[in-house]
């Protein structure tokens, strides 16, 4: 009798365990699959260039330049999924910068050319992202080139204002 009760208890336990409700799983979206395959972190070691004390107040008042700076520095720690949108935003900000009122001392062909080169670096990286065979190292080089281009413009500002 004890054996029968023990067998019956085990059978009930087995049935109870096997009849547990299955947890519903949320279907995985195409975007999630794509992101998990193509998302790669981009982290660039870059030492920023600081503005001289004489140049800082002039540039801080130049909103468009500061907006570009903030977007450029976002690129130092991003990933391949966010990068395309960030580059599009940066491209828009570069257009606003180029069409903004430049401080008087910076209204030179040389400084404008530095900003043009920065804009070209953004465009080059956008084109590179559009290619299927693009490697992560090539993307990192493109981001680094943008960071350098921005640094060159800051060096030019420091040279003009002294510092």
Q: What is the DSSP string of the chain?
A: -HHHHHHHHHHHHHHHHHTSPPPP-PPPPHHHHHHHHH--EEE----PPPPPTTTHHHHHT-HHHHHHHHHHHHTTEEEHHHHHHHHHHHHHHHHHHHHS---GGG-SHHHHHHHHHHHHHHHHHHHHHTSTT--HHHHHHHHHHHHHHHHHHHHHHHHHH--
Residue bearing the bigger pLDDT, 46 or 85 = 85
Cβ atoms of 58 and 161 closer than 8 Å: yes
**CB-based contacts of 55, cutoff 8 Å, min separation 6:** 157, 158, 160, 161, 162, 163
| Residue whose entry in the numeric block shows the structure tokens 């004390």 | 53
pTM of the shown model: 0.73
For the chain, the structural domain boundaries read: 41-161
- CB-hemisphere CA count at 13 Å for 27? 2
pLDDT band at 7 (very low <50, low <70, confident <90, very high): low
Measured CA distances, 18 to 14, 15, 128 (Å): 6, 5, 53
The architecture (CATH level 2) of 41-161 comes to: Up-down Bundle (1.20)
Q: Which tops the pLDDT comparison, 41 or 22? A: 41
Query: Which of 51-65, 101-115, 123-137 has the lowest average pLDDT?
Result: 123-137
Name which of 5-9, 104-108, 114-118, 155-159 the model is least confident about: 5-9
């Amino acid at each position: 009798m004890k054996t029968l009760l023990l067998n019956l208890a085990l059978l009930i336990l087995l049935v109870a365990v096997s009849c547990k409700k299955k947890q519903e799983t949320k279907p995985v979206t195409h975007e999630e699959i794509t992101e998990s395959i193509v998302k790669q972190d981009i982290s660039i070691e870059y030492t920023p260039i600081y503005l001289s004390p004489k140049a800082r107040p002039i540039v801080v008042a130049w909103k468009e330049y500061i907006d570009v700076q903030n977007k450029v520095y976002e690129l130092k720690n991003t990933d391949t999924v966010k990068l395309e949108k960030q580059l599009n935003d940066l491209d828009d900000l570069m257009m606003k910068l180029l069409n903004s009122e430049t401080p008087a001392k910076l209204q030179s062909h040389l400084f404008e050319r530095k900003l043009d080169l920065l804009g070209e670096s953004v465009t080059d990286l956008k084109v590179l992202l559009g290619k299927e065979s693009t490697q992560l190292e090539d993307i990192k080089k493109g981001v680094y080139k943008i960071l350098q281009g921005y640094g060159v413009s800051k060096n030019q500002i420091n040279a003009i204002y002294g510092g």
